[in-house]
Structure 1
Amino acid sequence: MGETADQESLRAVITDAMPTLTASEQKVASVVLADYPYGGLATIQELAARTRVSAPSITRFIAKIGCSGYQDFQRRLIGELKQRELSPIELKLTEAPSRDTHFLTDYTYRLVGQMKYMAESIPPQQFDKVCGLIADPSRNIFILGGRVTDSIAQLLSVHLRQIRSRIYHLPSDPEIWPEYVLRMRKQDVVIFFDLRRYQPALAELAQVISEQRQSTVVAITDKWLSPVAGHSTHIFALPIEMETAWDTQVCLVTLVEAMIVRVSEADWPATRKRIESWDKIRFSLSGNRTIEKGDSHEE
């Protein structure tokens, strides 16, 4: 279930149009993208002053990205802002019913469509680059998610710890974050998970990390882009819409599982050695000893 042209984020449209823009139009695009979507909500005169580009050049830029005028451009940006905050109650009003089949079958087909769209939209070079950074044993990897997505952050953390050392999952309590931030170095990687109805604290943390520690920030978010994306080097904007009252996180889990496999295979001998050592210790602990056949029972 891919996006139509009307549904596609203006950010994606602007990014795709970059090679066709003039130098002046690229200045406008860069300012809008640098603080998306807020960068395009100023008046045309204010945007012209910020970019040092004439109003007619901004008008031509607006036309090239498929908007009928500056008001239409801002209307679409405001619409995306509203989409960022939709709750299940509001999404229920736009729910699409199952299509002449059982609900589970229809829902599964929708998931397949979203995963297909994700696979086609993520640049392979970006995926390989991020996996390479995560696989580099010289880097510390810090991981944190939002209210719901932290469960996926934990999934990534649990598997990466078995593959390599120096993996840190940040606790949900912001009072403890400074301890982790102070460990971060320029060569380290910080991965954020944040979907719409974003958590402001995550964006504030990403800004501190980007400005004070200069670590590489990776944002795993949706097409409306968490504010974390404004402080990120790498952004994965994944499809989450299912035309139901609830967004899906299946694409996030799929991306995470693909990363786990790719990172584990970057240096399989080292991965195998660590897992063997990990399991040797784990199974030596009394609570994890294998129960002999016939000894198991329920109380």
Structure 2
Amino acid sequence: MRETETKKGLKARIAELADELTASERKIAGVILADYPYGGLVPIQELARRTRVSAPSITRFVAKIGCNGYQEFQRQLIGELKQRELSPIELKVTEAPARGAHFLIDYTHRLMRQMKFMAENMPLQQFDKVCSLLTDTSRNIFILGGRVTDGIAFLLSIHLHQIRSRIYHLPSNAELWPEYVLRMRKQDVVILFDVRRYQPNLAELARVISEQRQSIVIAVTDKWLSPVAAHSTHIFAVPIELKTAWDTQVCLLTLVEAMIMRVSEADWPATRKRIESWDQIRFSLSNRKVAKKKKVASEK
């Protein structure tokens, strides 16, 4: 199996080959993806019954996505299922310590390898399409991350606020989400960040948005694919593994910064005008606050 295949989850590999699948293979993929990963953990005879496709056709399908037989396909599914929930304590057991180099140098090299992998495997047309959506000022943009990734989601929202209007960063309190969901329209964009140890409420939020508001949901996740992906129009599966106890967010941050740059430069005159107006108000408020403090101090 090629190295790039081992780094990508089965779901991502099926999605990449969607245009190359036969009619029978599309049936198999549909049943598996409808209840992923559990749909592929049944005996091959049961999968054949559900799909109304022969067992040999299923064997050819799993070979096409890079597996040496149905048993290996199921072993990879089970492995993915376990990997999706690993904590730093469990990852510590399988970490690869630095060898022959200072820790910082080794760690930096690991990050560079993952960033290189992301750059070489990023669906560039999809990246361009998403940036085009974010550039369209007629659309509202809603952004939210998980327990760890919401910091990156907030960073994206802060920069987009300065570039264009109609940017909303959802609060972490799920009780307040209905207010934002009710604002969403069909043409609007919702970006949800969710990496392993996924948050069930984000997947439920994505489902509600997709079914009730029909907005465009974009999932920024990892190779095991958050359940959010099942309700998403666009999916970015970003590398997070470093063979350390802690997953990295550097590739997520790189993706976000690239989006910010691309969107800001799509109409630089408009971006510049907004930033100038933004800063004028911000500096005015800041100077007014300082002047007020000085006045109070002088009166004491």
TM-score, structure 2 length as denominator?
0.91
Change (3 A) 1:45 1:212: farther
Q: What SS does the corresponding residue of 2:101 show, helix, strand or coil?
A: coil
Structure 1 position 191 matched with structure 2 position 191: yes
Is the 1:35–1:230 contact (alpha carbons within 8 Å) kept by the matching residues of 2? no
Q: 1:203 is matched with which residue?
A: 203
Query: 1:126-275, aligned counterparts within 5 Å?
Result: 126-275=126-275
Q: Give the CA deviation at 1:267.
A: 1.1
Q: What SS does the corresponding residue of 1:285 show, helix, strand or coil?
A: helix
Change (3 A) 1:289 1:112: farther
Aligned residue identity for 2:22: T
Q: What SS does the corresponding residue of 2:220 show, helix, strand or coil?
A: strand
Is the 1:62–1:69 contact (alpha carbons within 8 Å) kept by the matching residues of 2? yes
**Larger deviation, residues 66-75 vs 123-132:** 66-75
Inter-partner Cα distance in structure 1 for 2:55 and 2:246: 41
Is the 1:25–1:57 contact (alpha carbons within 8 Å) kept by the matching residues of 2? yes
Q: Deviations over 1:117-165 (max 9, x none)?
A: 1111111111110000011000000000000100000000000000001
Change (3 A) 1:264 1:114: same
Q: What SS does the corresponding residue of 2:218 show, helix, strand or coil?
A: strand
Q: 1:112 is matched with which residue?
A: 112
Q: Deviations over 1:35-87 (max 9, x none)?
A: 43233123334423432322332122223334343332112101101001111
Q: Deviations over 1:193-219 (max 9, x none)?
A: 001000000000000000000000000
Inter-partner Cα distance in structure 2 for 1:66 and 1:116: 22
Q: Deviations over 1:2-31 (max 9, x none)?
A: 955444322233344445543212321233
Structure 1 position 52 matched with structure 2 position 48: no
Inter-partner Cα distance in structure 2 for 1:173 and 1:135: 28
Q: 1:75 is matched with which residue?
A: 75
Q: 1:294 is matched with which residue?
A: none
Aligned residue identity for 1:157: S
Inter-partner Cα distance in structure 2 for 1:14 and 1:178: 34
Q: 2:295 is matched with which residue?
A: none
Change (3 A) 1:4 1:121: closer
Inter-partner Cα distance in structure 2 for 1:179 and 1:269: 33
Structure 1 position 285 matched with structure 2 position 290: no
Overall identity of the aligned pairs, in %: 77
Aligned residue identity for 1:255: L
Q: What SS does the corresponding residue of 2:67 show, helix, strand or coil?
A: coil
Is the 2:7–2:223 contact (alpha carbons within 8 Å) kept by the matching residues of 1? no
Aligned residue identity for 2:221: T
Q: 1:296 is matched with which residue?
A: none
TM-score, structure 1 length as denominator?
0.91
Inter-partner Cα distance in structure 1 for 2:218 and 2:19: 25
Aligned residue identity for 2:203: A
Is the 2:185–2:213 contact (alpha carbons within 8 Å) kept by the matching residues of 1? yes
Change (3 A) 1:108 1:188: same
Inter-partner Cα distance in structure 2 for 1:55 and 1:64: 14
Change (3 A) 1:4 1:124: closer
Q: What SS does the corresponding residue of 1:67 show, helix, strand or coil?
A: coil
| RMSD (CA atoms) | 2.0
Structure 1 gaps, min length 5: 292-299
Q: Give the CA deviation at 1:270.
A: 1.0
Corresponding pairs, count: 290
Change (3 A) 1:6 1:281: closer
Q: What SS does the corresponding residue of 1:147 show, helix, strand or coil?
A: coil
Inter-partner Cα distance in structure 2 for 1:205 and 1:86: 23
**Larger deviation, residues 184-193 vs 4-13:** 4-13
Q: 2:92 is matched with which residue?
A: 92
Is the 1:141–1:166 contact (alpha carbons within 8 Å) kept by the matching residues of 2? yes
Inter-partner Cα distance in structure 1 for 2:49 and 2:233: 27
Inter-partner Cα distance in structure 1 for 2:6 and 2:279: 51
Aligned residue identity for 2:101: T
Is the 1:238–1:252 contact (alpha carbons within 8 Å) kept by the matching residues of 2? yes
Inter-partner Cα distance in structure 1 for 2:139 and 2:19: 34
Q: What SS does the corresponding residue of 2:217 show, helix, strand or coil?
A: strand
